[in-house]
Amino acid sequence: MPGVLDGVTIIELAGIGPGPFAGMMLADHGARVIRVERPGAQQTKDILNRSRELVTADLKSEEGVAKVRDLAREADGLIEGFRPGVMERLGLGPDLLHADNPALVYGRMTGWGQTGPYAPFAGHDINYIALSGALHGYGRAGDKPTPPINAVGDFGGGGMMMAFGMVAGILSARQTGKGQVIDCAMTDGSAVLSAMTYTFLGNGQWRDERGVNLLDTGAHFYDTYETADGKYVSIGSIEAQFYAELRKRAGLAEDADFDPQMNPAEWPKLKEKLTTIFKSKTRDEWCALLEHSDACFAPVLSLSEAPNHPHNAERQTYIKVDGMVQPAPAPRFSETPAPKPRM
């Protein structure tokens, strides 16, 4: 069965990180994504490149440029991840491609954006989320900011934003006949991901310090804890009824120290108590007590453990394609489910 994006054609100029992630999401859901690689590029198994058609083109040659222009004439969208101005110098800028195909949605994936003082310069996820303010909030109290791998800038603020932008742009183009340029910057995207935090800040509910707020490990009931076997569990019992469930199941219902849940002055002391309590049992023992309840609990699983957890296994959150374990396409559509990926 074709996916929800069946009938959409995207040209993806080969890159790394967020551009391929956007292409993966579109291909996962049925779009025809044609990935343009340079001749002689080494082909390796890469989950981000799954479900693509592959063509080669030397973008520094007239023939290669002509090949991409021909592909773009028949496409709904194009994704590129070069620095600003590179595509124009190659003879593949949006003005030229829109002259060939007025309905083309032209996606430009960068870290800093097409404009601004940083626009011409190199960077990586850590830099983009640093400038957007997102990185400042990651880390423990008194510690330096800790990058959350590259999930927030490259993939949440970059690739996912680009995939959304391409779908929205194509929807508009099919209604109006007119394409447009999508300036997708990871600084912008990671800033958007911080919208809820700015709500807290604007309402006086957020201190610009790490590890002292409700959702940044400041609260004892929203944190990870080490267990007796050196593994970890997570709790997120924010609401009063869920906090009560945690206390009941952890044997803390009668401990009056835990009564003032929302008093930040008490959080450090209660965090120390929970640290000791969670170290008294193994992770599996805590799972037996707290899983399948409203205590807002889950074990902290490694990448190799996660596919085998019963919940993930039942939902087939992870699949194996050509011998490689990988996340299944998401989200899930009831009438047009994603086709099985191919490597």
Q: Tens-of-pLDDT digits for all 343 residues of the chain?
A: 789 999 999 999 989 999 999 999 999 999 999 999 999 887 788 999 999 999 999 999 999 999 999 999 999 999 999 999 999 999 999 999 999 999 999 999 999 999 999 999 999 999 999 999 999 999 999 999 999 999 999 999 999 999 999 999 999 999 999 999 999 999 999 999 999 999 999 999 999 999 999 999 999 999 999 999 999 999 999 999 999 999 999 999 999 999 999 999 999 999 999 999 999 999 999 999 999 999 999 999 999 999 999 999 999 999 999 999 999 999 999 999 999 999 8
- Could you confirm whether 125 is annotated as catalytic? no
Q: In what order do the strands lie in the sheet with 77-80?
A: 53-56, 32-37, 9-13, 77-80, 105-110, 180-185
The catalytic position among 28, 125, 154, 188 is: 154
- Could you confirm whether 70 is annotated as catalytic? no
pTM as predicted: 0.94
Q: How many CB atoms lie within 10 A of CB 254?
A: 8
| Tokens coding 62 | 């007239």
